[in-house]
Structure 1
Amino acid sequence: MKNFVYALFLCFLFFSSCKEKKSTPQKEISEPVEQKTALNNWKPLFNGTNLDGWTMKIMGYPLGENFGNTFRVSGGILSVRYDAYGEDFNNRFGALYFNEKLANYRLKVEYRFVGETAPGAPEWGFRDSGVQFHSQSPASLKTDQPFPVSLEYNLHGGNGTDERPVGAICANGMLVELNGQQNISYCTPPLVKRTLHGDQWVTLEIDVKDGEITHYVNGEEILSYSNPTYNNEHEIAKTLIVNGDVSVKDGYISLQSNSHPIDFRKIELLKY
């Protein structure tokens, strides 16, 4: 009898233990759904092999003509070069346009300045370039039009000594609001000033969502503004206004060819 009671006691302990384990499963560790979704939705816009999906427009040349092999791809890097321009850059500004019109998104670009400014370039061309967005379509540019009506995340590279902050907002034919006030100059410097010297790789990001725009460099927020509109006093911009609506909600993105050699190795887009 004593052995029987002892056996029942052991069975009770066994089943209690099993029930407890069953009722308290280990919690699965995983990334937040939002983080997984964001990571999975980043789309590369540059395939590392060729310029598929992009179209160039260089001042003085027809749409799609890559004068002097300005835009080229080698070793997984998209390069902008001027070695075929001769001794005079001759204001042949241009840009490489992504073929899809975009509205709400986050753009991430890795770039670096290299080499020497093209002969005959303007003085400001030294380590100067830009990523243009909310741009008019490349097909709508005139043959002799140097820059599109657009917003621009301005790229400045340091000269090793002086401060040349990266990330200003330059508005060609457009107006924006900074701290509730309309911009009063073509280019407005970033609030947080970062000068990046040498040929280092830099990561810029542009966040565009429902009229709110933010600039980042190497993960740090440096500038924010809002409500881009066409400037109805600008000769070309006023032709883009439809039914009196000056608001700008979408457009094309592009990489400038401004006279200083520059490389891009990663161009990614996250749509909202």
Structure 2
Amino acid sequence: MSPLKTCLSAALLCALVPSTLADSAGEKEWINLFNGKDLNDWAIKIRHSKLGENTHNTFRVEDGLLKVRYDQYPSFDHEFGHIFYTPQDFSYYRIELQYRFVGQQVANGPAWANRNNGIMYHAQAPETMGLDQDFPLSMEYQLLGGLNEGERSTANLCTPGTHVVMGNVLRKDHCINSSSATYNGDDWVNISLEVHGRELAVHTVEGAEVMRYRDLQKDDGSALERGYIALQAESAPIDFKVVRLLNLEGCMDPEANNYKSYLVKHDSKACQY
């Protein structure tokens, strides 16, 4: 029996349960994708290396941070890397993340990749990537650091094997700039991404919306509705401090014990009564 129905049969509960349910329904259940301690829930895939090989200790956890480093590389041969959160894929969700670029790009890193990284979302499963594949099929929330001259926005969109619609235009250009400010130096930057399946994606930087688009799709026009989340290693050292996700898909039935008022996609199988 649901708490609401129980309330109807007991006057005392009727006075107490509604506010409790309201509080519980609005309480957001964030998932800390990075726990600040280890990479146990993550799978590493670096170009030219097999899944699970952390080539030259590229990804590491130090001082409570998830770090990308190149100090153990004898040379760099386009060994672009990705670290995937593997417990599950997602479709409707909000990600919040803090990042900062630090230090110098690895020698022989391509000029375009200097202070360049990204969040790959709606990505293919890591085990489906080829040995020499550089980037997963995905949407990329691109992270760029300023180069101390000119403008260089962050929270851009890149589309490896994918397309989106902006306004009423199908965009096939590989990277599209956001309206964000330029962030020079090594300061922490706070960003978020909200995704509603294939329907909508919104990029936010320091609380301000900088980009939105819809109709997420693969190059062949088929819908891209869900996938895995990965962080990149593109030849520039970077730190990640907060990496957390709010699943926006779940039980939206107010009669259920686990009803959440902030959800945007109903999953009847998730409801508990």
Determine the structure 2 residue equivalent to 1:184: 172
The answer to whether the 8 A contact 2:163-2:216 is kept is yes
Task: Find 1:105's aligned residue among 93, 112, 129.
Answer: 93
Determine the structure 1 residue equivalent to 2:108: 120
Give unmatched runs, 5+ long, in structure 2: 1-18, 249-273
Give the superposition deviation at 1:136: 0.7
Determine the structure 2 residue equivalent to 1:218: 206
- Map 1:69-88; keep pairs closer than 5 Å: 69-86=57-74, 88=75
TM-score by length of 2: 0.80
Give unmatched runs, 5+ long, in structure 1: 1-30, 233-244
How well do the aligned residues superpose, as a CA RMSD in angstroms?
1.8
Give the counterpart letter for 1:247 in structure 2: A
Query: CA deviation digits over 1:205-250, x for unaligned, max 9?
Result: 1100142100011111000000111102xxxxxxxxxxxx810100
How far, CA to CA, are the matches of 1:36 and 1:111 in structure 2?
31
Give the counterpart letter for 1:108 in structure 2: E
Higher alpha-carbon Rg: 1
How far, CA to CA, are the matches of 1:212 and 1:146 in structure 2?
26
1:269 has 2:209 as partner: no
Task: Find 1:57's aligned residue among 16, 23, 45.
Answer: 45
Q: 1:93 to 1:201 in 2, by over 3 A?
A: same
1:246 has 2:222 as partner: yes
Post-superposition, which runs of at least 4 consecutive aligned residues in structure 1 deviate over 6 A?
Answer: 31-36
The answer to whether the 8 A contact 2:70-2:237 is kept is yes
Alignment partner of 2:193: what SS?
Answer: strand
Determine the structure 1 residue equivalent to 2:120: 132
Determine the structure 1 residue equivalent to 2:78: 91
Q: 1:71 to 1:38 in 2, by over 3 A?
A: farther
Determine the structure 1 residue equivalent to 2:234: 258
Give the superposition deviation at 1:168: 1.1
Alignment partner of 2:91: what SS?
Answer: coil
Determine the structure 1 residue equivalent to 2:160: 172
How far, CA to CA, are the matches of 1:105 and 1:35 in structure 2?
21
Task: Find 1:47's aligned residue among 35, 43, 50.
Answer: 35
How far, CA to CA, are the matches of 1:182 and 1:34 in structure 2?
41
The answer to whether the 8 A contact 1:133-1:254 is kept is yes
How far, CA to CA, are the matches of 1:112 and 1:32 in structure 2?
39
TM-score by length of 1: 0.80
Alignment partner of 1:205: what SS?
Answer: strand
1:209 has 2:185 as partner: no
Q: 1:140 to 1:37 in 2, by over 3 A?
A: same
How far, CA to CA, are the matches of 2:84 and 2:190 in structure 1?
19
Alignment partner of 2:112: what SS?
Answer: helix
How far, CA to CA, are the matches of 1:173 and 1:155 in structure 2?
19
How far, CA to CA, are the matches of 1:182 and 1:110 in structure 2?
30
